[in-house]
Structure 1
C-alpha cells in the first residue's frame, strides 16, 4: 500500500496542470508544503513589522529631538511612503492577480464598497497618526512604546465584538498584564519629561497616545473583518497591496489638507535650516521614516490576513522592549524602575499569548495523532 501511495502522488500532480493547479495545491497541502509556505510568509511579515516599527519610532523621535516641530509633517511621513510600492505593484500586478487564486471564480466587491472601505480606514489611520505624533512630540520614545502595549487589550476588546474572538485563560492573562504595564506609566515620575515640555503638554501627549493606541486596535479589528468578509476573494497578495495603498493614499490626502490648513507648511524652510543634523539629514530622516512606516504597514496587514488582528498586535508588542533599550543609548531616555517593571510585564504578557498560539497550533494535531494511534492499535 505504501508503494501505491508513492506512485499515485506524482500522477495526481501531473493531472493538475489542466485544472488550474487545484489538485497540485491539495497535494502540496497534504505533504505539508502549504503550511510551511504560510509560516514563511508569517515570518517575513513579522520581520517587516518589527523592523519597520522600531526604526520608524526612533526616527520619529529623532525628528522632534533635533529641532522638528510640525506634527502634521510627522504624521504625513507615516503614510506618504506608499508611492514606493506603486512600481512594484504595477510590474507584479499580473502575478499578484493569480498567485493566490484557487481557480474558483468569485464575485468581487464593487468599486463603491472598496472605496468606502479604503476611505474609512484612511480616515481612522490619519486620526491615529496625528494623535501618535502629538504623543511623540511631548513624550520620551520609551514611554510612547510602552503605552502602545495597551493596543493589544483594545484590539482584543474590539475583536470580541467584531470578529467573535475567543478568549482563553492565557489570552486573558496576556491582556491583563499588558494593560497593567501601561497603567503603571500613569504614576511615572515627572523627571522623565523631555526638556521644555510642561506638565500639561506631557498629559496631553499621554492622552493622545492612549487614544491613538485605541484607534489602532479598532483599525486592526476592522481590517480583519473587511479582509474576511469583503476583500478576501482568493487573491491574498493583491488584496494586501490594494488595502495598503488605498488606505495610506486616503490618509495622506487628509493629512495634506490639515498641513496646509494649519499653515505649518510655511515652517519647512526655516525648520530645515535650523535642524540640528543639517539639511541632508533632515530629508533623510523624513524619507526613511516614511519608508519604514510603509514596511511596518505591509507586515501588519499581512499578519492580519494570514493569522488575525490579535496576533498582529501581539507581534507588535514583542517589539516594544527593543525601542526603549535603544532609546536609552540614542536619546538618553531614563530607564527607571517603573519602566523596567512595565517592560517585564509587557514581555510576560506577550509570552502568555504566544503560548496560547502554541496550544492552538499543536494540541489539535497531537490529539489527532493520538486518536490515529489508538485506532491503529485497536485494529
Structure 2
C-alpha cells in the first residue's frame, strides 16, 4: 500500500511539472513580441526609415533643382508635395484586418462636425508648413535648409512636453543641445556655396520661414497625437490613414486656392518654356518630386502605425 501511494505521488509530481512546463510554453508563445515577429518588426522599421530618408532627401534636392533652373512658383513647389496623396489610398486594401487594433478608450464615434474640424485644422496647418518650407528651400542652400529642418525634432519635443505630457529623456536633451548649437552656428554662417545667390534679406526670410515650418511641423505631430487621444480615442489602421489622407486633401485644396488667387498659375506655361533644362526636365522634376514626397509619407504612415 505504501508503494502504491508513493507511485501515485510520483505520478502527480510529474503531471504537475508537465503542466507548469506547458503553461510556461504557452506564456512564451503569447508574449507580445515573439522572436519571429521581432525580426520582421525591425525589418519593417528599417524599410520605413529608408523610405523616409530617401523620399525626403530626393524631394529636397529636386525642389532645389527646380528653383535653381528657373522655377519661381512657391505655390507650385508646395502643391507637388501634397497633390500625390491618392497614392496612399491603396493602403486601405492591403490586408487591414491583419493589423492589430490598439487599446480602444471609448467605443463612441466622434461626430462628423468634430472630425471635419480636426481634418480641416490639421490640413490648413500642413498647407502653411509646406508653403513655408518652399520659401525656405527657394532662398537657402540645401545644406543649411536641411540642418534647420532637423530642428523640427526640438520643436516636437517642446510641444510634446506641454501638449502630450511627454517626459524629457537623456537622449532627447542631447538632441536638443546639438540641434540648438547647430542652429546658432548657422545664424553666423557666411554662405560660400555660390549655388544660391540671394540677398541677405532673402536669406533671412528663408531662415525664418524654415524655422517656422519646423515649429509648425512639430506642433502638427503633437496635435495629431492629441486628436488620437482626445477625439478619435482609437488607433486602428483605417483611422491612421484617415488622419493622413483627409488633411492632405484639405491642404491640397488650400494650396490650389493660393496658387490661383496669387496669379502664379498664369506664369506656369512661360516658366516651363523658359526652364533651363527644358520642358521634359521641368515636368519630370515636378512628377518625381511628387512621387518622392509620397514615398516619404508611406514611410511615415508605416512608422506611425507600427
TM-score range, shorter chain: 0.7 to 0.9
| Aligned residue number for residue 150 of structure 1 | 151
Separation in structure 2 between the aligned mates of residue 30 and residue 125 of structure 1, nearest angstrom: 35
1:169, distance to aligned residue in structure 2 (A):
3.3
Query: SS at 1:106's partner residue?
Result: coil
Matched, 1:50 2:53: yes
Quick check: 2:139–2:196 contact (8 Å CA) kept in 1? no
Quick check: 2:139–2:202 contact (8 Å CA) kept in 1? yes
- What does the per-residue CA deviation read over 1:55-79, in whole Å, with 9 as the maximum and x for residues that have no partner? 1111111111111110000001111
| Aligned residue number for residue 297 of structure 1 | 297
Quick check: 1:67–1:274 contact (8 Å CA) kept in 2? yes
| Aligned residue number for residue 271 of structure 1 | 271
| Aligned residue number for residue 280 of structure 2 | 280
Aligned length: 290
Higher helix share: 1
Q: Cα gap change, 1:6/1:64 in structure 2, threshold over 3 Å: closer, same or farther?
A: farther
Q: Cα gap change, 1:151/1:103 in structure 2, threshold over 3 Å: closer, same or farther?
A: closer
Q: Cα gap change, 1:250/1:270 in structure 2, threshold over 3 Å: closer, same or farther?
A: same
Q: Cα gap change, 1:157/1:170 in structure 2, threshold over 3 Å: closer, same or farther?
A: same
1:195, distance to aligned residue in structure 2 (A):
4.6
Greater C-alpha radius of gyration:
2
TM-score, scaled to structure 2? 0.84
| Aligned residue number for residue 372 of structure 1 | none
2:84 to 73, 81, 85: 81
Q: Cα gap change, 1:7/1:63 in structure 2, threshold over 3 Å: closer, same or farther?
A: same
1:71 to 71, 74, 77: 74
- What does the per-residue CA deviation read over 1:3-46, in whole Å, with 9 as the maximum and x for residues that have no partner? 54675699x7xxxxxxxxxx99x826264455555444433322
1:248, distance to aligned residue in structure 2 (A):
0.8
1:190, distance to aligned residue in structure 2 (A):
3.9
* Gap regions ≥5 residues in structure 2: 1-15
Structure number with the bigger relative contact order (C-alpha 8 A, sep ≥ 6) is 2
| Aligned residue number for residue 331 of structure 1 | none
Q: Cα gap change, 1:37/1:195 in structure 2, threshold over 3 Å: closer, same or farther?
A: closer
1:198, distance to aligned residue in structure 2 (A):
1.4
2:63 to 60, 65, 68: 60
